[in-house]
Structure 1
């Protein structure tokens, strides 16, 4: 307002100076005065033919219009500068570490776009920082879990080999027994390392996916056949069915085979008392739904939401007999995500079922990315 007041004073002084100059020009030039008089007499306005009796009125009116425009422009310009300075102050406050603060006021015009963009940028930065912290936390948890799961069998291996090294055995049967235990623990470590490698490989951004046309019927039959002997030894019948047959989809055969192998292996390990493991696939509206079901003991309801987390194991499954790494189902979810599908689980006293839903045809972007990785 002070600047507006000063601007008005300066404009009045400029107007007076210009009027004095115009009057001097007219008074010192009789021809100009005569021309103005002739124009004044010839101009009529309105129905009553009103005349302009003084050129000063025209000059003053013109100056008044110009003054109003200049004052308005100056005030609006200064007001926008004031708004921008206020936004900059808010930005400095946020930059000092107050990341929970947002610019609270609403403006008009482009200034509001600036405020909205700043608030959105801060929100995005906070989300990125939270994601980064979550990733770091996830990495720390991964290292901790891997270290724990590797240390346990490694301690047993070193302990039994030390007994043999120090000749703390009574017979050759003891040597065979200790060696066998160490061998089983070493296999457990190998399985963990392989699962960990597979999990990190599918978790990597831009993990290569070899998409191609494959017959899901044949894939499920191959998975069933590979576990047939193990299932027979446990009294579990393993079978597969598809509708229609053959059932063609676009997928990575190696990774998809790993998915269903992990689900069948999971049923064999943890489906206590099961008599069957059935793999079934049905096509419906451009998608295929694959169910891997068994009639073993149900999974506790509180555990269903955590099954696909890394290293999560149902409490009853932490026995040495199962030897699970806790990565099998996490690998399943990661591979299914790579195929733009979903995986769910249901468990009742009658049946536990893992349901994988995949698109028949992969999105165009996914196929182009797969082709790029292949090249």
Structure 2
């Protein structure tokens, strides 16, 4: 900017000096020529009077001689020309013929009765000449007295003036350039100050201000700039604060949120949405929603919302990146100052996969419970009706029927107890007790409880328990229930003369408990579903041995409450082994 101003200033100054110089040259030249013209006209009039008074023969040598003397005195070339352009006398002679002067412009004007003037190159004297022609009447005819002087003097004066002007231009430009540069530099200082301040602000240093103390327009500009910077800093702070709060709000919302513009390109994505769809916001912003969420149903629903301008909610099933059931709530984004204008759409997503699974599990559970309760109740009801219809009179039939009713009643009570136990475990996951449990002591207690049951069935219950097992923390009753269920299950499905072995030891930072039997075993295809509620490998045999179908489901939930794992190794007709792995450190 400084260079531009200096260049313009320099050009304007140069043009001004040049115009002044050339105008001065032109004025001096014109003034000098006017003075010469007046001088020549005066001398021509004197010659006119001389010719009229003397009544000379204009073609004589005497007259020629007089003209030459007179021309020398007035330092001018004198030419006398008749009406036909013939030269009668010439003070500057060259050898040879003097051509006719009738076509000379100054002569033509003089023939018209006026004083002729001309500045032109003379081939006779080989110089630029000033000519003045004066018409006079002599000897009864019109003749022209023409005086001429060369312009060597004006040329010399012009050259001298040109040198002076050139020197003035150079000297003036140097002095003006120095003064102008300092002046422009002084003017540019506040502008540079404002420019530097704006650059620093553009780089993020919003606290920078322009320090200009000038009292002119530039000072006003600096004041306005500083005021604008103050307002800008306040606005950016407000926007930053709002943006921080908005980001914090988006981050704290556990539901995924995605916003799109009118072209269905993503403009916003919160962390919950990033996690749900396994993407990063920077990779998704600006892309079409179909590129991120490959679900035509969602795309069509968004299109319908844009067309109908109606908020809605839908439920969709997704396969990618994982199989999920999502509930989508859509709301149009409208301008606050123009509610009729829509600029996009925001979708709030609720992952209801687990809810739908639980609903299905609940439905299946209710159906299974109804079925399991209905079977013994139907049996009891049937035998009661039989007894009421007269069978009660037969003592043997009555006792047999009552025994069956008693068995079914016990089975019904066990089923209800297991259902209540499972419900209690499921509903207490968030408030698990952290009681001190000595695994060695509890295992010994369970061994003593289950030994008589095994003995009654002629099954040998073997134990191999490390007496120095580390203490764990959790629900002591659940821990005991887990062991009882596993050992009871092993005894039920092990034939007479079989064996059940209980083993417990510490490995690394885990407590390992194993219950192994020599029973009927479990087919491989049934192992993955073994811990489902009411799932039975052999339904007829399970009912026969009194199983409710909930024992292993209870075991699995208790293991999960201890943050543990359970594994099953089984081979049909050879036996099964249930291995429980409980972390010691994490349980504390």
Pick the TM interval, shorter chain: 0.5 to 0.7
- 2:18 alignment counterpart: none
Closer, same or farther: CA 319–335 of 1 in aligned 2, 3 Å: closer
- 2:525 alignment counterpart: 302
CA distance in 2, matches of 1:158, 1:308: 31
- 1:204 alignment counterpart: 427
The 5-angstrom pairing of residues 1-375 of structure 1 reads 42-43=180-181, 86-87=260-261, 90=264, 111=285, 126=326, 128-169=351-392, 171-204=394-427, 206-245=429-468, 247-273=470-496, 275-315=498-538, 318-348=541-571, 350-363=574-587
CA distance in 1, matches of 2:527, 2:283: 51
- 1:26 alignment counterpart: none
Cα deviation digits, residues 333-366 of structure 1 (max 9, x gap): 00010011011110135441100011223446xx
SS of match in other structure, 1:321: helix
State how many pairs are aligned: 285
SS of match in other structure, 2:351: helix
Closer, same or farther: CA 227–109 of 1 in aligned 2, 3 Å: closer
| TM superposition shift of 1:278 | 1.1
Higher helix content, 1 or 2? 1
| TM superposition shift of 1:173 | 1.6
Q: CA RMSD in A?
A: 4.0
Closer, same or farther: CA 136–85 of 1 in aligned 2, 3 Å: closer
CA distance in 2, matches of 1:212, 1:138: 31
Cα deviation digits, residues 188-240 of structure 1 (max 9, x gap): 11111100111111112545432222221221111111121221121111132
Bigger mean CA deviation after superposition, 226-235 or 191-200: 226-235
SS of match in other structure, 1:90: coil
Higher RCO (CA-CA < 8 Å; seq separation 6+)? 1
Q: TM-score, normalised by structure 1?
A: 0.65
Closer, same or farther: CA 363–184 of 1 in aligned 2, 3 Å: closer
For the Cα contact (< 8 Å) 1:191–1:325, is it kept in 2? yes
For the Cα contact (< 8 Å) 1:274–1:295, is it kept in 2? no
Higher strand content, 1 or 2? 2
| TM superposition shift of 1:300 | 0.9
For the Cα contact (< 8 Å) 1:345–1:355, is it kept in 2? yes
For the Cα contact (< 8 Å) 1:262–1:329, is it kept in 2? yes
Structure 1, unmatched stretches of 5+, are 1-37, 45-50, 70-83, 93-101, 365-375
Structure 2, unmatched stretches of 5+, are 1-175, 203-257, 267-275, 294-315, 319-323, 327-349
CA distance in 2, matches of 1:130, 1:137: 11
CA distance in 2, matches of 1:211, 1:202: 14
For the Cα contact (< 8 Å) 1:201–1:207, is it kept in 2? no
Closer, same or farther: CA 125–345 of 1 in aligned 2, 3 Å: closer
For the Cα contact (< 8 Å) 1:341–1:356, is it kept in 2? yes
Closer, same or farther: CA 282–342 of 1 in aligned 2, 3 Å: same
SS of match in other structure, 1:289: strand
CA distance in 2, matches of 1:196, 1:239: 30
| TM superposition shift of 1:106 | 10
Higher-Rg member (1/2): 2
For the Cα contact (< 8 Å) 1:274–1:297, is it kept in 2? no
CA distance in 1, matches of 2:457, 2:400: 24
CA distance in 2, matches of 1:277, 1:193: 27
Closer, same or farther: CA 112–219 of 1 in aligned 2, 3 Å: farther
CA distance in 1, matches of 2:468, 2:532: 34
Closer, same or farther: CA 40–115 of 1 in aligned 2, 3 Å: farther
CA distance in 1, matches of 2:402, 2:181: 122
